[in-house]
Every structure is written in C-alpha cells, then in structure tokens.
Amino acid sequence: MRFFFTAIIVFTAAGCLNASDPELKDFRELPSAGHSENLIKNPSFLEGNAHWIIRPGNGYETGPFGPNNVPALRQKFVTGEKYNGLVAYQKIALKPKTTYRYGSLQKMEKLHRIKNGQVQPRRPNICVDWSYKGQWVNSYFAGDKTGGKVDIEGKWAKVEYEFTTPSNPDYTYLLYANAPATGGEACWTNFYLEEAVARCAFFLVYPRFGALTPENRMIEIGTYLEGEFKYRKDKEPRLFCHLEVSAQNGEKVRTLLSPLERERVRFDLKGLPEGKYRLSLLLLDMPNRYILSRETLPLQIAGPEKTGKNEVRLDARGRMLIGGKPFMPVAIYTWAIKEDQTREIKSLGFNSFVPYGTLTSNPLKRASLGVQSMRDALDICSKYEIYVMPAVSPLDMPPVWENISKKEYYSLLGKLISEFRTHPAIIAWYISDEPVPSAIRELEKLRSFVNESDGKHPTWAVFNTPAELPKYAAATDIAAMDPYPFTYGKKELEQYTVLDQTSTLQKLLGNLDGEGALWLVPQAFSWKIYRDTRSKKLQKENPEVYDDMPTGRQILAMSLMGAIHGAKGFCFYEYQFWNAPELFKKFGPHLKYAAGTLSANSDLILGTGKAPAVTLKEIKGTVRAKAFRSDDGKAGIFISAVGPGESAAEITLSDTCGGLSSVLGNSKETSPGVWLFKGTGIDCDIIRN
C-alpha cells in the first residue's frame, strides 16, 4: 500500500547521522529499506500458465482478458456448475515473523452463486494459505479484508492486503486465486507478493529530460512513500527536503532546505555555472529530528549555447520544444510506414507517427537491423513533414525477437539509435506500451540507455494502471495514459475512465501548477475491429457492423479532457484501418475532425499567457472545464462532458475576454463572461476568440 506524505508515519530508530551539515548532526537516521522483490513468478501471465498450478475445471483460462486486452487469468462459470475450489496457485517461500504485502488487479462480471434457490452475489479472492506437514493452519484473504471496499464490478481495480507470518520457520505457504461462485466470471492479473518494507523515492519533475537552461534554474523534485515507516513521534511530523548540490569533483556548492508541499518541493539553483552536478536528497521529519530516506540524482546545467534545429527539449510546463519552438504532437499509431499512408495522415491533420513495426523490420538479419527500411520510412516522413517516435522496447518484443537476448538487443538498439538520432524526422523514442509493474526496473534501465545514446530526443511510455504511476516516475521522460471508455458491447456512453486517469496522471506526475510532460492516448478504434483483426475475420467491406467506433466529437471530447488535466501531446490509438479502405473511408472523417480541431487549438494548449479563472457550476451530469491563453493573447475555454446522458454546466470567467464564441455550438453566453454548456453523452465544446 502506498502512503503519500500526508499519511501518518510511525518508526524505530537506528543511530545518529554523521552529516557535514551542522544543522543535521543530532538527526537519527532510519535503516535503508531498499526495493522489495515480487515473489510471484509470471505475475501478469505473459508466459501463459508458466509457474502456476491450475486445477482442471471451473472454466479457467489465460488470455487477453486484462485491461486493454493484456494477459490475465479468467474464471468463467456456467450457471449451476459446482464450485471446485482453487483456480490457480503458486508455492512461495516466506520468512517467519515478517510483514508482507500482496494483491492483484481484479474484475468481476455478475459473479454469483445459487444457494437454497436464492441468487447471492459473490466476490473473487486472492488468498495466502499456510500449512505444516501437509495440514492446513490458516489463511489470509485479501478480498475478504479489503475487497468489499473496492468496486470491481465490470471494472479493473487493485485489491491489496498486508499480513505478518507466524514465527514457525517450517510452515509451507502458497498464494491462490479463487471465486467461490456458480455463475458469472472473475479475472485477475498483475499479482504481487512482496516484503512490506518501507521505501521513499525521489524523482525530478523538472527537468524531466536534458539540462537546466540559463532561462530557468528552478528544479522541482517529486517524491512518494511506499510501505510503513515506524518510529517514535513525540511531536506532529512535518516533512522537509534537504538538498546538497555537489560539483563533478565532489565539491559541495550549495545546501538548501524546504518543506514539502503536495509531495513536491522546488529549489532555485540560480548562479550555478554550467556543468554536471550531483543532488544528494534527504527526507526529514524536522520536529522529531529523523532522516527517513536519502537518494542521489544526477543533474546537468546547460550554458547559453543555441539549441540545434532538430534538438528536442521539454520545458518546465512539459511542452515539447523542437529547435526551441513549442510543438504539440498529434500522432497516430501504425505498424509500417508507407508513402500513401503518410500522405493520407498529413491530410487528416496529424503531424506524427508512432510506428510499432519499423524498428523490428528484418530483426534476425543482424547486419542490416532493418536500417535501410527504417531510413526509407523516415525519409518519407520528412518529405511530408511528419515526425516519428519509433517503438524501441525489449519489453514489447514481438515473437520473432524471442531468441534474441536482452544484451544483444541493447547492442542492436544502441547501433540503431546512433544511426538515426540525427535524422530530422525523429523527435522521441517510444520505450514501452503498457508495461506491467514487475518491469519497472527494466524500464528504468532502458530509459537511461536511450538517454545516454541520444541526449537530444526524449523517451515516452504509455501506462494503463493509474495506481502504479508514481513507481514509474523514474522510468520515462514523458508519461501517457491510454483510457479506453468504448468497451465491447457497451450501451451507455461515458468517459469516467478518461477523467480518472488524466486527473490521476496530473496529480501524481505533474508539477505544483498541474503542468508536466504528460500526454494522452485517446481511443480512436473499435473493439470489434480490433477483435476481428486478431481473429482474421475483419469485415472490410461491411463497416456498418462496427458501431462501437467513437465519433470525431467523442474522440475530441476525450482529448480535451486530457488537455484540461495538463496533457500536451495526443497519440491516437488506431492502426487497423490501413488495410481496409472501406473502413477508412467511413471512419477517416472522424479522425480528421478530432485531429484537425486539436491541431487548430494547439496555440491554447501550449500557451503561456495568464488565463482567466474559471468557476464551474455543474447543473446536470459531470463536466470539466479549463481556460487557456495563447502566447499572442488569445483566450479560450475547453469543456468536456463525461456522460452518460445529458449534461449541463454554467461556466463563469473572471475576465470577459471579448470576442469569444462557441466553436462546436454546445455553449451560449447568457450574460457577459457567463456561458451555459449543454451536451449529450461524451461531448465537448471550445469557446475562444
């Protein structure tokens, strides 16, 4: 369980600090907790059933049943079938008298049992069992302890529990999943069982990528806590961050202290010359004189040299700067880049590609590495002024890569980045697509490798587990979420998942002003098309059957919800249309509407002018709104309705901003500076001058 700095903290001390700062000499320091290891093997079923013992029956199977079709374990009952106990389990070795944390992501669909003729709702469970010489002793059920407080009906949520093992070192333990039901279904993925050690982590909110510039010497540091710190508190805890800045030769050049505010702290490093530095950070409870944690981060301060034409930087607001000029990616996914597609997406209003297949062209031909095909693709994109963010992650390797070791992959990747890092089409490297929590350390390694191989183009990754976001803070330069509210067979249209994930991303990884290197991957595809593509039953000539495709207005509404919560890049997830002309003919105009409208309003999203304050009064339904001001003084308001059904809201501006009008026609000015918005389902509007 994660506790942010607003939590109550309890601990046992260990010695005093031998610090160079006289003000810290009487502080006591807690033992370093380090990282805890996940004791569950194959926790996300990426290897199918490997390492799991599965009991026959009960309708279990592993497959693409997880969030956004990632692997998961599913137990689907036939009504009336007799419950048969365990679904899946693993034997685990645990230490005596030790506290552990365990849990998983879970979802259920109308799970129930019939008893005495009555239908009773049930919940899935994960349990830690222990036995002695084959005889059961006791069990802990995460679902029983905390699951009842977590809504998992039709949605994925994290269920977690902590327990302490008994003192007998000879007990045998196992973790299992079960659903004591006779109807409905239950799903699990992302299992974990780890020692519940306390951990504090620091990360740079700014600069996320590259160096501090002469124009801005203010750094911002984010932090989060995991586990429970236990120590004696004689006074109310108040947390501070102590910073010691050292030059490359080890000389200490600055010492600063500041209280934490919403898990963030800012330090002004004005006056320090260009060069490489080391930031030594301490988390302090000042009233109780304890050092809770320490960490070291690297920092580079740049001189006044001019930014290169194709060099990419991320500023303090999270904006992407290409050659020093603000740029907002409006991208679309693809497998392979072809000239006719590139010409087409340019006409639709997109300015970037995220290709899955370019890097992995001819992967087993070690000499070529697919270099020539990638060069051809990048040259085509340059011709049409389309930027590219190639996928380069060994975490997402297709099956053809399975006989290549990680060491060899990194060698190949280094050569490929060296070959193309100066190509004018490259603006970023896509390092992971929905990584599982167990891959965090590997992702951190990959980010460092890519940053060292190419210091002029950032990395980015997309995540689908909001609760785990702080753990990924050091794993990418740009973070994105991919909430997909249009699920297969869904009747009522709403985007609560977009609101939840974008607001969570902003809160956990944004800066104190709600800004940051945050992007959104809007759903621009049909689940029916996706499933038919996978089963090779795509009905190319019958687009009418794919009635779960979001419209252009709905894609725009999701994108605006992201912009309202700080997103400054948008990568539309859709690539099934390229080989189906009839589908593209039907759905292409929707993509053009959303991409074109976003691009036309990038001056507001990237604007740095002081926007008027917004007072939002929801009349019906859930609505979000935010005002923006472009660099040339134009003002605008983005409004996004969650749905389902009708929504209405009154938006009042602190400044009337003359000349405003509704772009999409869903809003009317009722008096100077006061606007009434009305929408249906997932809907939106833009009011601007």
pLDDT per residue over 105-147, tens digit each?
Answer: 888 888 887 777 788 888 888 888 888 787 777 777 765 544 4
Under DSSP, the state recorded for 414 is H
Backbone angles phi, psi at 509, to 5 degrees: -120, -5
The token duo for 143 is 């679902």
Q: What is the pTM of this model?
A: 0.81
Angle at 665 between CA 664 and CA 670, to 5 degrees: 130
Q: Give the integer Cα–Cα distance in Å for 354 and 429.
A: 9
pLDDT at 366: 42
DSSP label of 253: E
With contact defined as beta carbons under 8 Å apart, do 449 and 407 qualify?
A: no
Helix 496-509 × helix 552-564 angle, to 10° = 30
- 108 close to 143: Cβ distance less than 8 angstroms: no
Other Cβ atoms less than 10 A from the Cβ of 21: the count is 14
The full DSSP string for 338-373 is -HHHHHHHHHTT--EEEESSSTTSSTT-TTTTTHHH
pLDDT of residue 480: 97
H-assigned helices in 70-167: 142-145
Beta bridge partners of 334: 355
For residue 489, the model assigns a pLDDT of: 62
Pick from 216, 203, 306: nearest CA to 263: 203
Decide if domain 53-195 falls under CATH 2.60.120.260: yes
Domain 2-35+198-301 belongs to what architecture? Answer: Sandwich (2.60)
The two tokens of residue 656 are 């009337």
Query: Phi-psi category of 185—alpha, beta or left, where left has phi over 0 and alpha has psi -120 to 50?
Result: beta
- Tokens of residue 445, six digits: 């390694």
Rounded to an integer, the average pLDDT of 614-620 is 97
The percent of residues above 90 in pLDDT, for the chain, comes to 45
Alpha carbon distance 332, 350 (integer Å): 7
Q: Decide if pLDDT at 400 tops 60.
A: no
Instruction: Specify the pLDDT at position 85.
Output: 53
Mapped onto helix, strand or coil, the DSSP state of residue 675 is strand
Mean pLDDT is lowest, of 142-156, 215-229, 237-251, 290-304, for: 142-156
Range from 16-25, 146-155, 400-409, 499-508 that averages highest in pLDDT: 499-508
Computed over every residue of the chain, the mean pLDDT equals 84
Domain 314-525+552-603 has CATH 3.40.50.1100: no
- At 479 the three-state DSSP class reads strand
SS3 24: helix
